[in-house]
Chain A
Amino acid sequence: MTDDVIEHLRNDGARLHAKALFCDPGDSLSVRIPGREEFLFMTPDRSDPTAFPFATTGLEAADLHATIYRSRKDAGGVLIGQTPWSSALARIEARIPTLFDEQARHLGPAGKPIALGRHSLLFRALEGGGNVAIYGERRICIGTTPSRVVFNAELFEKCAKAFVIAHASGDRIRKLPGWARYIARARLRRAQKRAALSYAAGRIPEGMDGYF
């Protein structure tokens, strides 16, 4: 099982790297090892993934991942890193509104950017069920499966880019209607609950990739 997880993580890292979503030296990517209180962690320097326990890692970059896995039982993968659009969102100092169906369904609501070092604010925001947060100039992306964290990273990049470009025009932006946000959020919560139950049973959850 661990060999499969290592292979998956390497492929995910390569795909994100190719799309310039996992390139900064401070970036890090991890996936939960099902059935164990551990996760596999890697950085863009392509060194072999390292397994760390949820309890403590002894590595500052990995500690943030460990804390997320401890607090989010549905998290199957975590990406932390900086892109030009995550930096732009931090500098705009505004929460990215919920603009698109798939954003509402897979990323959930995002809070306001959180200053680096304000750990308690960050974890309070993530405990609310959102799969994305801006922390300093980095974005934190959570997915219920290793594949889903890759999709969420690509999705967030598109949403952030679209929002920043629209915001820079000065024109009025229309959000997704409230009823559509409500339905999508309920679906996201159900998927997260299902994922948490699967991980508690030692399995990677299935059927997490579709809109419905």
Chain B
Amino acid sequence: MKFQATRELVVKTCIELADGGYLAATGGNVALRVDQDHFAVTPSAIDYYAMSAADVCVVRLSDREQVEGARQASVESGLHAGILSARPDCGASIHTHQPVASAYTLFSRPLEVLDPARQALLGRNIPSVGYAPSGTALLARRVARSVKPDTHAYLMRNHGAVCVGKDATEAMTRVAALESECASFFLTRAAAQSGKLDASVHAIVIQTLLPMVDDAVTRFHDVVESESEHTS
């Protein structure tokens, strides 16, 4: 099998994302660059827990032609191709349906990243891309137009998010950082709404968001630590 290691990494990444609640059902997808001209991408409409490396497709960046994989490549392959073409420094593009960032996409406005550690990971301002249906060329074009060298996450209105990184680990750390930043935003808003909401609803929102706020920073430190151990 061609590009076996990267295709196996796509499977591993999807399972980690699904276990973390960042992918819901068959929603969301992962693209990892395999060489200068190709990327590996999840197939369309697959159960990530049942996916094998052989199911993972390989797509050519220049014309989006599928060159490997028995199944049909993700409908969001064009979106990933646009991002990876615009960001040659990135080896990974992860599209999630993570619930808290997805909640933020319902406002259709950019997210200002306030936490300094998360700002270093994500960029200062996360753009909000206007609505276009999933899997369309219009969505791919709108996201590609928003791509900037110093911004590593993008919100898609009424849809979800895309995070990029030099590799899968960095992109996943940014997925977690984005969820944390959005959790931090909603925590502040929910605290201000105390008394206006049903007490039990308010409690579940606070209890859910509170532990999420520092999660990404912890993960980032773990990654940095393991990378420095690896280097030394």
Question: Cβ of B133: which chain A residues have Cβ within 8 Å of it?
Answer: 101, 180, 183
Chain B minimum-CB-distance residue to A153: B25
Kindly report which residue of chain B lies nearest to residue A180, judged by CB atoms.
B133
Per-position 1/0 for B147-169, Cβ under 8 A of A: 00000000001111000000000
Tell me the B105-124 residues at the A interface (CB within 8 Å): 106-108
Given contacts A165-B100, A171-B189, contact A99 B204 (CB under 8 A): no
Contact A168 B24 (CB under 8 A): no
| Residue among A85, A88, A101, A212 making CB contact with B158, cutoff 8 Å | A101
Q: Say yes or no: A166 contacts B198, CB within 8 Å.
A: no
Produce 1/0 per residue, A12-50, CB < 8 A to B.
000100000000000000000000000000000000000
The interface residues of chain B lying within 8 Å CB-to-CB of A168 are 186, 189-190, 193, 197, 201-202, 205
Stretch with Cβ within 8 A of A (4 or more), from B7-15, B44-52, B222-230: B44-52
Q: Say yes or no: A212 contacts B204, CB within 8 Å.
A: no
Interface string of A160-185 (1 = CB under 8 A from B): 01111110111111111100100100
Neighbour of A88 across the interface among B21, B99, B189, B201, CB < 8 A = B201
Q: Say whether B25 contacts A152, CB under 8 Å.
A: yes
Q: Report B212-225 CB contacts with A as 1/0, cut-off 8 Å.
A: 00000000000000
Asked whether B103 is an interface residue with its Cβ less than 8 Å from the other chain, the reply is yes
Asked whether B125 is an interface residue with its Cβ less than 8 Å from the other chain, the reply is: no
With A15-B49, A168-B190 in contact, do A101 and B134 touch (Cβ < 8 Å)?
yes
B1 at the interface (CB under 8 A from A): no
Q: Which one of A87, A176, A209, A212 lies within 8 Å of B47 (CB-CB)?
A: A209
Question: Known: A165-B205, A180-B133. Contact between A174 and B47, CB under 8 A?
Answer: no
Contact present for A210 and B200 (CB under 8 Å)? no
A88 contacts B200, C-beta separation under 8 Å: yes
List, in ascending order, chain B residues with CB within 8 A of A169's CB: 186, 189-190, 193
Binding site for A on B (CB under 8 A): 21, 24-27, 44-47, 49, 75, 97, 99-100, 102-104, 106-108, 131, 133-135, 157-160, 186, 189-190, 192-193, 196-198, 200-202, 204-205, 208-209
Q: A87-B204, A88-B200, A155-B27 are in contact. List 11 more A-B contacts (CB 8 A).
A: A88-B204, A88-B205, A101-B158, A147-B47, A151-B47, A158-B24, A161-B103, A165-B103, A165-B205, A209-B26, A212-B75
